[in-house]
Every structure is written in C-alpha cells, then in structure tokens.
C-alpha cells in the first residue's frame, strides 16, 4: 500500500493536480472502509489505522485526507459516512467536518433482483438544514449515481468515484 500510494501521490504532485497546486483534486482518501474490518485484528488493526494516518500526513499534499467508514479516525483525518442514511452521523472528533462520501440512491442488483432505487424520493427531507450549495452538490451526485446504476453508463466503482469528484469540483 505504501509503495502504490507514494507512486500515485508523486505522479499527482508532478502533474500539479492537487488544489494546493492549482489542480482539481480537493480531497484524498487513505485506506477505504478499514473501520469495517479493523475490530477483527484487535490492537494490530488500530495500529495499522494509525500508521496509515501518519503515512498520509507525511506526504504533504496540501488537501485534506479522509478515511471512509473509520469511526475513530485520528486528527487531522476526516472520518466519513457511507450509506443510505447519514443524517445522524457524527464525526469521531468534534473538530472534524461532517462528510457523507457515498450517498446511496440505489445499489447494483443481481439478475432478477428488485431495483434498489428510491432514495431520491426522500432526498429533500434528508437535506433539510444543508446549505443550498451542499444540497445542490448532493442532489447532482445522487442523480448521476442513479443514472449510472439504471442506465449502466459506468461499470466500475473507480469510474463512478471520478465522476463524483468531477461533480464536486464543478459545484464548489
């Protein structure tokens, strides 16, 4: 993980893609959804999460780092919520941002399975209290995710994440 991440970050810095360099990348992810499995590894799982955090910070990229589904992410990592509903999500640290990185409006389905869509119908109530910009950003992202799932325009998660990051950059 360290070699791959270092190579990726070095290439990204060389191309000046981070927002701190004038580029479009406004946030970076280190260790996706480790919190879902960390408890199986006990103290070693917690130590790994801390090593990831320290390593990410040592790369000095000039944009915030996030850890998705890592409820105990150490500062300055931003712990995020992924899921159908994140309105009750609270960051581990009071000084951290509240961030919803996967706003599920649907899900991939198996052959002959029911459609897993419908969150768009209740999305306005979930967004109450958000700023207009936040609401617009989430709504655009949700609509694009639903289109990708329904129309099969995107077939891989990385393509979907790239589209979401591009949308976030356009809106902000």
Q: pTM to 2 decimals?
A: 0.63
| Sequence-distant contacts of 1-10: CB under 8 A, at least 24 apart | 1/31, 1/52, 2/55, 5/30, 5/55, 5/56, 5/59, 6/59, 9/59, 9/61
Domain definitions of the chain by residue range: 1-103, 105-172
**Residues annotated as catalytic (active site), given as ranges:** 33, 102
pLDDT per residue over 76-118, tens digit each?
Answer: 888 888 877 777 777 777 777 778 887 776 666 677 776 655 5
Is the model more confident about 23 or about 116? 23
């Amino acid at each position: 993980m360290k070699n791959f991440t270092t190579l990726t970050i070095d290439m990204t810095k060389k191309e000046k893609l981070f927002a701190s360099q004038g580029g479009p990348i406004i946030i970076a992810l280190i260790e996706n959804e480790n919190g879902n499995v960390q408890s199986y590894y006990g103290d070693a799982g917690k130590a790994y999460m801390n090593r990831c955090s320290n390593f990410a910070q040592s790369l000095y990229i000039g944009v915030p780092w996030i850890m998705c589904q890592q409820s105990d992410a150490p500062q300055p990592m931003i712990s995020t919520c992924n899921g159908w509903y994140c309105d009750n999500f609270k960051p581990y640290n009071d000084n951290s941002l509240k961030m919803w990185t996967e706003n599920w409006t649907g899900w991939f389905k198996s052959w002959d399975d029911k459609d897993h869509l419908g969150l768009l119908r209740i999305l306005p109530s979930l967004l109450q209290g958000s700023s207009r910009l936040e609401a617009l950003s989430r709504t655009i992202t949700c609509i694009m995710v639903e289109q990708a799932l329904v129309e099969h325009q995107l077939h891989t998660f990385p393509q979907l994440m790239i589209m979401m990051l591009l949308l976030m950059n356009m809106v902000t």
